[in-house]
Amino acid sequence: MMENSLKSQLKSGKRAIGCWLQYPSAHAAEILAQSGLDFLLIDHEHGNGDVRSAVEEMRALKGTGMAAMVRVPWNDATYFKRILDAGALNVLCPSVEDEAEAEAVARACLYPPRGRRGAGGGIRAASYGADQTYFDAVEEQLLIAVQIETARAVDRIEKIAAVPGIDMLFIGPRDLSASLGKLNRFDDPELKALMATAEKRILGCGKYLGSVIYPGLTAVEMFQRGYHLLVGGSDTSFLLEGARKLRASAS
């Protein structure tokens, strides 16, 4: 089966940077594939795409050298099965608070006996049945990431990281701020301290550390802090910012 370029990049010690794909458009994916970024994060939690549009977007990226990651809407075994069968090799689950929820993510992504993912024969991920090597090789190629988005999750990081199959813990600063009753107050000392604690504990577990680029910091600064994977900007924000710059230039 096809090698997961994003997982191979991280395993080799290289850092990865990408952006969100919120609008369900293969055209946007194809355009962003020319950017030189390492991956696109197809967002099905806050974006309005579905499995069908994700297939079109992954197809647009195929052969470009840019990897695709899909954030599922929630910790739902059925959705994991559908997006994995559609060909996703990198998945991100929002709001995982403890080891039981992390175990549910891993079980949904892995075939028995390690998990409980259902095995379909003619799935796109296995080249519609033409590639029977998929079933033996996929678990080595999968990158499974879970988001740490509450204070309770930070307290359980070591237990979450210890779940077999979980590769990356991804800090969600906006929801983390909301869990403290301080939504979007990114300069708040309590939030900054909690994020620093989360960073330290994740790195101490030996797992990949991911997040968005924090307000006031650059990607370089965050990589220097130990992050392995970062997401910055989105298809929609780039479009809006470009239009605003044009408007400003004409004033």
SS3 178: helix
Cis peptide before 189 (omega within 30 of 0): no
Say how far apart CA 95 and CA 82 lie, in whole Å. Answer: 20
Say how far apart CA 143 and CA 141 lie, in whole Å. Answer: 7
**Counted domains in the chain:** 1
Over residues 165-185, mean pLDDT: 98
Task: Indicate which CATH number applies to the domain containing 113.
Answer: 3.20.20.60
Nearest to 172 by CA among 152, 200, 193, 146: 146
In a domain, residue 149? The reply is: no
pLDDT, tens digit, 9 for 90 and up, residues 93-151: 999 999 999 999 999 999 999 999 999 999 999 999 999 999 999 999 999 999 999 99
Q: How confident is the model at residue 1 (pLDDT cuts 50, 70, 90)?
A: confident
- Which structural domain, as residue segments, surrounds residue 62? 5-136+211-249
Do the Cβ atoms of 83 and 68 come closer than 8 Å? Answer: no
The proportion of the chain whose per-residue pLDDT surpasses 70, expressed as a percent, equals 100
pLDDT, tens digit, 9 for 90 and up, residues 176-206: 999 999 999 999 999 999 999 999 999 999 9
**27, 44, 46, 228: which one is catalytic?**
46
| Per-residue tokens: 140 | 């080595």
Q: 44 an active-site residue?
A: no
In a domain, residue 10? The reply is: yes
Q: Record the pTM.
A: 0.98
Residues 6+ apart with CB under 8 A from 21: 28, 29, 32, 40, 41, 42, 43, 47, 49, 57, 234, 235
Over residues 210-237, mean pLDDT: 97
In a domain, residue 17? The reply is: yes
In a domain, residue 150? The reply is: no
Return the biggest CA–CA distance within the chain.
64
Say how far apart CA 198 and CA 151 lie, in whole Å. Answer: 9
Backbone angles phi, psi at 158, to 5 degrees: -60, -40
